[in-house]
Amino acid sequence: MGHHRVKVFLRLRPSCRPSTAIHVDHAANTIRIDVQKQHGGGPPRPYNDQMVFPFDSIIQSSCQETVFDQCAKSVVEDVLGGYNGTILTYGQTGSGKTFTMTGDTKAYAHRGIVPRAIERIFAEKVAKPEAGIVVHVSYLEVYNEGIYDLLPQRRLASAVSLTAMEDNGLIEIKGLNKMHCNTKAEALKYFFEGERHRSVAPHTMNQISSRSHCVFTLFVERHSGLRTLEEVTSCKLNLVDLAGLERLKRTEVGGQAKKEAMLINKSLSFLEQAVYAVRQGTGHVPFRQSRLTTLLKDALGGNCKTVLIVCAWAEDFFLDETISTLKFAQRVKYLKTNAIINRRPDAANVERKYVREISELKQELALRDALTGRPSISYDDLTEETRSELRERIQAFLAEEAGIDSIPIENFKQVKELFCLFKEAQVSLRGELEKLLRDYGGGPDTFLNHPATDVDMNPGSTEPDDEECVGELDTEGFHVGPVAPDDARPDFPPSPHAMVRALRSPELRYEDDTVLDYEKSPPIKAAPPDLWDLDQEERNEAFLEYKRNTEDGQIQEQELRTKTSELRMRKQSARELYTTVNDSKHEIADIKKLLDSSSKAGARVEFGNAAFDEQKYHLMQRFSVARSAYQTAFQELKEVKSELDLLQQEVRDCKQKLLESFYRWFETMSAYRGDLSKMEVFPPGSLAAVTGPKQSIYKADIGKVETLPPGSPGSNMSLTNGPASLNNETAKGSTVVSQQNKMQKIKAGR
């Protein structure tokens, strides 16, 4: 974007009474006006003030051709180069604006800027046909604050004012006729036709005074450029003949002419304000104050190269108006615009080029197909009928009703279409699947990506995978093994595999032994040495003796039975739950298998209205139910397992307690037996008298535990849970009775 200063030229109207106060310096392009200061209406005094106005050029007594060359030609050339341009004439009424812009029709040499600009542009068009220059013209006038089209018909009194709009930074008149012109003559014809439609009226200073501001526009397009054929430059040249400033007392008009004059002066005043605001750079410029300023917005600071030609009378009589005109010119002189070459893609050219290329390529293909024996292939766009046929074939292929060969592949366009149709099928299928899964309680990932979140859905695996578990099972329950696999994960809560494995483990298979199996109890290092002197049968007899015939033994035995019974029930529950979990798992795996095979063999999809077949629908329902059953049973199983752990520990504690108690009792009895031997209480032949390491004293005689009444014989000999002692205290519950007493009780039918 380039900044261009507005060029301002001064054209002085020839006069037979030139002012002596006006001095033109052509070398310096300045005009000096000697001003007489007025002092309270006193007599005129000598000139005592000077005003100097510089211009780009001052034209005096020059022909029209010179005016065009000096003032307008560069702008016209720029328009041919793609820049927008505006040439304005400004000045008091009768100063020669219309003469400058339009010229005098009486003589060809007096033609003005407009005809000359038309000539130049069409000369270029003729000289450079390859440039593809296209010209349109429009002609409007701003009359009494209305915009009226001067083409092609005579403006009627009822004509509607047009609207000025801003389009892409440029002012456009909505509804304005733009006449296409092939030749200079056509353009001139439209111009002069518009001239005839202009609003003019006579007054004392001009017999054909313009009563409106007129804008003749040449729209120039170049459809080819030096760089690419796809580019077009499009710009316009506005040639503006403003109505003149009028001093009503000079023109002496009345009525309509007076009203027109007032509106003209007003609009010119707005123009001055706009110029002033642009020059001040204050931001807001009141372009919309009047139609004229709206139309000239581009020219005063937009995308345009602008030239102002001010016309002035060089006579004393009009000195004030001349000074006023020159002052306005000075303000405009400092305005800058931002003109650019207006390029845009030439859609028509691009289209023509591609149409030509496509045509050539089709010919190439046809030739190739003919040479390779494939003359019937079409490379045109696929019709809706063809698309529909392809869609049906894809459906058949997906339903495995037809093979891949049923889908024709003839050209690239068709391959692309097939991809689109497959994508369409995939989207439709997925949407329907997600909907079904939502309806039946699972998310899409449940089925598509992760068949089950907590069970192994591998149909081939019916047993838990040991490698997925951390640690080993021991005989008592879970514990973390010494070596875990590298990819092991903490198992909280326990994985279903771990749970299943634990429940199916032979070590956990509960044995139905409510009575302690002595042989299976853990090694008892603390057992009294004498106990090991007995054989197995004797040890068991001693143990049975303790459990049945001592109070402590009975209580502990009962407690153990209760806990064991509870444990058995819990294990039974666990077995049942395990069965449910496992069954659910197998069912889920089976359904998964069926769904897989159904997808391969039986899935049917109707495009645009996708739907599974009925079998798949029911499978999905079963899947949802099985999954729900699995989750419920698994949760219950976890709870039962916790209870099992606790109960097992309690059973172990009971067993240990029973054993320890038994050991203490046995030691006490051994000591007691020794004392009895020493005391020789028992009669000869009694078991108590037997010595030796393997005496069966507990088998039949000793070990019967009874609670004796205080004071009875032997009641001072007791066995307690504490250290073995034979004292006079009555034991808490266990009392060893003498053989004699024992026999007595047996006889009494106890």
Task: Pick the closer one to ligand ATP by CB: 105 or 727.
Answer: 105
User: With CB under 6 A as the contact rule, which of the stretches 206-214, 330-338, 386-394, 614-622 interacts with ligand ATP?
Assistant: 206-214
Give the amino acid at 705: V
User: Closest separation between CB of residue 243 and ligand ATP, Å?
Assistant: 5
Query: Measured between alpha carbons, how far is 642 from 626 in angstroms, rounded to an integer?
Result: 24
Q: Which of 2, 14, 202, 485 binds ligand ATP (CB under 6 A)?
A: 14
Instruction: Quickly tell me which residue has 């172990």 as its tokens.
Output: 652
DSSP state of 550: S
User: Closest separation between CB of residue 244 and ligand ATP, Å?
Assistant: 3
- The Cα-based distances of 340 to 135, 300, 306 in angstroms read 19, 15, 13
User: With CB under 6 A as the contact rule, which of the stretches 203-211, 475-483, 529-537, 539-547 interacts with ligand ATP?
Assistant: 203-211
User: With CB under 6 A as the contact rule, which of the stretches 86-94, 343-351, 631-639, 712-720 interacts with ligand ATP?
Assistant: 86-94
- 8 binding ligand ATP? (CB under 6 A): no
User: Closest separation between CB of residue 111 and ligand ATP, Å?
Assistant: 12
- The Cα-based distances of 174 to 140, 149, 160, 241, 289 in angstroms read 12, 10, 12, 21, 19
User: Closest separation between CB of residue 96 and ligand ATP, Å?
Assistant: 3
Query: In the 3-class helix/strand/coil scheme, how is 169-197 assigned residue by residue?
Result: CEEEEECCCCEEECCHHHHHHHHHHHHHH
Task: Pick the closer one to ligand ATP by CB: 261 or 299.
Answer: 261
Q: Which of 6, 7, 13, 647 binds ligand ATP (CB under 6 A)?
A: 13
Residue 138 assigned ligand-binding role: no
Instruction: Quickly tell me which residue has 């060969």 as its tokens.
Output: 405
- Contact status, residue 499 vs residue 581, Cβ threshold 8 Å: yes
Q: Which of 19, 138, 206, 342 binds ligand ATP (CB under 6 A)?
A: 206
Alpha carbon 622 to its chain's center: 38
Task: Pick the closer one to ligand ATP by CB: 209 or 648.
Answer: 209
User: With CB under 6 A as the contact rule, which of the stretches 21-29, 202-210, 601-609, 668-676 interacts with ligand ATP?
Assistant: 202-210
Task: Pick the closer one to ligand ATP by CB: 99 or 682.
Answer: 99
Beta bridge mates, 309: 9, 89
Query: Measured between alpha carbons, how far is 410 from 423 in angstroms, rounded to an integer?
Result: 19
User: With CB under 6 A as the contact rule, which of the stretches 19-27, 207-215, 410-418, 689-697 interacts with ligand ATP?
Assistant: 207-215
User: Closest separation between CB of residue 16 and ligand ATP, Å?
Assistant: 12
User: Closest separation between CB of residue 345 and ligand ATP, Å?
Assistant: 42
- 213 binding ligand ATP? (CB under 6 A): no
Residue 91 assigned ligand-binding role: yes
- The Cα-based distances of 351 to 33, 129, 132, 225, 403 in angstroms read 61, 21, 16, 16, 42
Residue 132 assigned ligand-binding role: no
Q: Residue 458: exposed, middle, or buried by beta-carbon count in 10 A (0-12, 13-18, 19+)?
A: exposed
Task: Pick the closer one to ligand ATP by CB: 208 or 409.
Answer: 208
User: Closest separation between CB of residue 93 and ligand ATP, Å?
Assistant: 4
Give the amino acid at 6: V
Query: Measured between alpha carbons, how far is 202 from 111 in angstroms, rounded to an integer?
Result: 22
Taking the CA atoms of 181, 182, 186 and 191 in sequence, report the sign of the dihedral they define.
Answer: positive
Task: Pick the closer one to ligand ATP by CB: 311 or 516.
Answer: 311
User: Closest separation between CB of residue 247 and ligand ATP, Å?
Assistant: 12
DSSP string, 69-80: IIIIHHHHHHHH
User: Closest separation between CB of residue 319 and ligand ATP, Å?
Assistant: 17
Q: Which two tokens stand for residue 249?
A: 């007392």
Go through the chain and tell me how many residues it has: 750
| Pair type for strands 213-222 and 231-241 | antiparallel
User: Closest separation between CB of residue 106 and ligand ATP, Å?
Assistant: 9
340 — phi, psi (to 5°)? -130, 160
Q: Residue 698: exposed, middle, or buried by beta-carbon count in 10 A (0-12, 13-18, 19+)?
A: buried
Helix (H) or strand (E) holding 494: none
Cα dihedral 522, 526, 528, 533, rounded to 10, equals 40
User: Closest separation between CB of residue 89 and ligand ATP, Å?
Assistant: 7
- 713 binding ligand ATP? (CB under 6 A): no
Task: Pick the closer one to ligand ATP by CB: 208 or 355.
Answer: 208
88 to 117: interface string for ligand ATP, x by CB under 6 A: ---x-xxxxxxx----x-------------
User: Closest separation between CB of residue 61 and ligand ATP, Å?
Assistant: 8
242 to 261: interface string for ligand ATP, x by CB under 6 A: -xx-----------------
Residue 460 assigned ligand-binding role: no
Task: Pick the closer one to ligand ATP by CB: 104 or 606.
Answer: 104
251 C-beta neighbours (distance < 10 Å), count: 22
Q: Which of 19, 70, 210, 233 binds ligand ATP (CB under 6 A)?
A: 210
Query: Measured between alpha carbons, how far is 288 from 295 in angstroms, rounded to an integer?
Result: 9
Buried b (16+ CB within 10 A) or exposed e, 493-525: ebbbbbbbbbbeeeebeeeeeeebeeeeeeeee
Q: Which two tokens stand for residue 144?
A: 């009494």
Closest-CA residue to 335 (of 3, 634, 593, 699): 3
User: Closest separation between CB of residue 91 and ligand ATP, Å?
Assistant: 6
Closest-CA residue to 470 (of 479, 461, 458): 479
Task: Pick the closer one to ligand ATP by CB: 22 or 278.
Answer: 22
User: Closest separation between CB of residue 48 and ligand ATP, Å?
Assistant: 31
Q: Which two tokens stand for residue 694?
A: 């393997």
- Contact status, residue 582 vs residue 503, Cβ threshold 8 Å: no
- 209 binding ligand ATP? (CB under 6 A): yes
Task: Pick the closer one to ligand ATP by CB: 207 or 656.
Answer: 207
Task: Pick the closer one to ligand ATP by CB: 91 or 703.
Answer: 91
| Residues from 592 through 621 that contact ligand ATP (CB under 6 A) | none
- 311 binding ligand ATP? (CB under 6 A): yes
Task: Pick the closer one to ligand ATP by CB: 94 or 442.
Answer: 94
User: Closest separation between CB of residue 264 and ligand ATP, Å?
Assistant: 8
Binding residues with ligand ATP: total (CB under 6 A): 18
Task: Pick the closer one to ligand ATP by CB: 204 or 558.
Answer: 204
37 C-beta neighbours (distance < 10 Å), count: 10
Residue 97 assigned ligand-binding role: yes
Task: Pick the closer one to ligand ATP by CB: 14 or 254.
Answer: 14
Give the amino acid at 221: E
Q: For residue 351, give every residue at least 6 positions away whose Cβ sits within 8 Å of its Cβ, in sequence order, or none.
A: none
Task: Pick the closer one to ligand ATP by CB: 199 or 224.
Answer: 199
Helix (H) or strand (E) holding 434: helix 412-439
Q: Reduced to 3 states, what is the DSSP secondary structure of residue 12?
A: strand
Instruction: Quickly tell me which residue has 């707005």 as its tokens.
Output: 270
Detail the residues annotated as belonging to a binding site.
Answer: 91-98
| Contact footprint for ligand ATP (CB under 6 A) | 13-14, 91, 93-99, 104, 206, 208-210, 243-244, 311
Detail the residues annotated as belonging to a binding site for ATP.
Answer: 91-98
